[in-house]
A and B are shown apart, each in its own frame.
Chain A
Amino acid sequence: MSNESSSLISTIGDILGPFNLSVPLQITYNNRPVINGSDLRPSAIVSRPMVEVGGDDFRVFYTLVMVNLDAPNPSNPTLREYLHWMVTDIPATTNVTFGRQLISYENPRPMMGIHRIVFMLFRQLGRNTVFEPDLRHNFSTRNFAQEYNLSLPVAVVYFNCQREAGSGGRRFRN
């Protein structure tokens, strides 16, 4: 777990702040669970994924946030962060289908560079305490969490996404 935390901090921690990883979170696209740092092309993430949330008490509610840290271009991320999906009031031990969608799923389609797409899970103080933001672009997860008393993310999953024909990033298995 310490390895995971350190790698998360190095790659996305500068933007998304410190984490308090304590709840299991599994994101599944096309029956394949997403592994942190893996490479997914736009074709693989066209439809919303299945999201399963751990925990032990289904009276605890979580908010799921999906953002792109490198929109539109990692060298010039003027739209950072871009909000792709937001679901609130997800009961613990269930999945995203039990929640309430605030922002509909918009499949990422990066044009330039390799983008970091991040899922974060926040524990809500109570049910129906989180409200949708106005805009998708230039979203700030940190400020949003502070505004709705969500504290630090309790789970993080991220992957890299580039355009379908892109040839960036690693080429061989290390």
Chain B
Amino acid sequence: MWSSDAGEGNSHSNSSTKIPSSASSSSSAILFHTTSKRKTMEEVWKDINLPTLGQDSRPSTPSLSLEAPLPHKATAASAAAGRNSFRSMILQDFLAGAFKDPPTSSSSGSLPQLALPPTVLSLSSSGTFRPGFDYTAFRPGPPNSNSDSSYASHVAAPAAGSGGSDDIIVSRYPASSDLFFSSKKLISDDPFCISGGDRRYKRMIKNRESAARSRARKQARILLPSLS
């Protein structure tokens, strides 16, 4: 399904025309339905993207970054996750990030411009973790402070060009990575994790006993066929 989309998407046409193209060439109705759902979300996302960026966010080249700073990273992400799922991740992650970092950041005018590429990039990095990236560097501190300082420091980054792309990734990453790391922290550092294993063990024992009772009832039923 995704491959067929990629095949049709390689034409450098506007994303809004993707749906008709896929619809015309879709062989199976099922595929069309699923891709159309994805397209709808993508379309909405693109509608949000396009006015703010003023660019065609259509990932004709594998890089989805609107500023075109990190084609290689986006390439890896899109290649790995597939374009459509990549976009959905973008939207969800962006929303998750939006909750963590209120839009009233330091950079007001350029915020939308900054918001999109970082989220795009952060999603790509969240999709495929770059081994060289030091995640731990951004663990401490609330995401707000990190992002604010990062946003402030990187207001001029996009204007600077590709040099700021790395910084953008770095700056935006804590927001989404925090989401991920916080969940990881719960799993690994939570003291309840230890008793969680006990609870799981007890639950398993109780399940087995219940199964044994059920088998006993079944055996009784077979030995004494009931008339009811």
Residues of A within 8 A of B (CB): 3-4, 6-8, 10-11, 35-39, 74-75, 113-114, 160, 169-170, 174
In the complex, what residues of B have CB within 8 A of residue A35's CB?
Answer: 224, 226-228
A3 B223 Cβ-Cβ under 8 A = yes
User: Per a CB cutoff under 8 Å, which of A74, A114, A160, A174 touches B222?
Assistant: A174
Contact of B216 with A38 in the complex, beta carbons under 8 Å? no
Cβ of B92 within 8 Å of any chain A Cβ, yes or no, is: no
- Given contacts A4-B223, A35-B227, 12 further A-B pairs with CB under 8 A are A10-B216, A11-B220, A35-B224, A35-B228, A36-B220, A37-B221, A37-B224, A37-B226, A74-B213, A114-B217, A170-B218, A174-B222
A7 touches B227 (CB 8 A): no
Given A114-B213, A174-B225; A7-B219 close (CB under 8 Å): yes
Contact sample, A vs B, 13 pairs, CB 8 Å cutoff: A4-B223, A4-B224, A7-B224, A10-B216, A10-B219, A35-B227, A36-B224, A37-B217, A74-B210, A74-B213, A169-B217, A170-B218, A170-B221
Which chain B residues have a beta carbon within 8 Å of chain A's beta carbons?
Answer: 206, 209-210, 213-214, 216-228
Q: Is the CB of B226 within 8 A of A38?
A: yes
Q: How many Å lie between the Cα of A115 and that of B226 in the bound state? A: 18
Closest beta carbon of chain B to A169's beta carbon, Å: 6
Contacts of B216 in A (CB 8 A): 10-11
Alpha-carbon gap, A166 to B213, bound state (A) = 16
Of B220, B221, B223, the most chain A CB neighbours within 10 A belong to: B220
B32 to A: closest C-beta gap in Å: 39
CA distance A169 to B218 in the complex (A): 9
Cβ–Cβ < 8 Å partners of B218 in chain A: 170
Is there contact, CB below 8 Å, between A7 and B220? yes
Q: Tell me, in angstroms, the Cα distance from A170 to B213 when the chains sit together.
A: 12
- The 4 A-B pairs of least Cβ separation, nearest first, read A7-B223, A37-B220, A7-B220, A3-B223
Contacts of B221 in A (CB 8 A): 37, 170, 174
Measured CB to CB, the nearest residue on chain A to B207 is A75
CB distance from A19 to the nearest CB of B (A): 14
Looking at the assembled complex, report how far the CB atom of A47 sits from the nearest CB atom of chain B, in whole angstroms.
19
Q: Which of B214, B216, B218, B224 has the most CB of A within 10 A?
A: B224
Using CB atoms, name the residue of chain B closest to A113.
Answer: B210
Bound together, the chains give a CA A55 to CA B210 distance in angstroms of 38
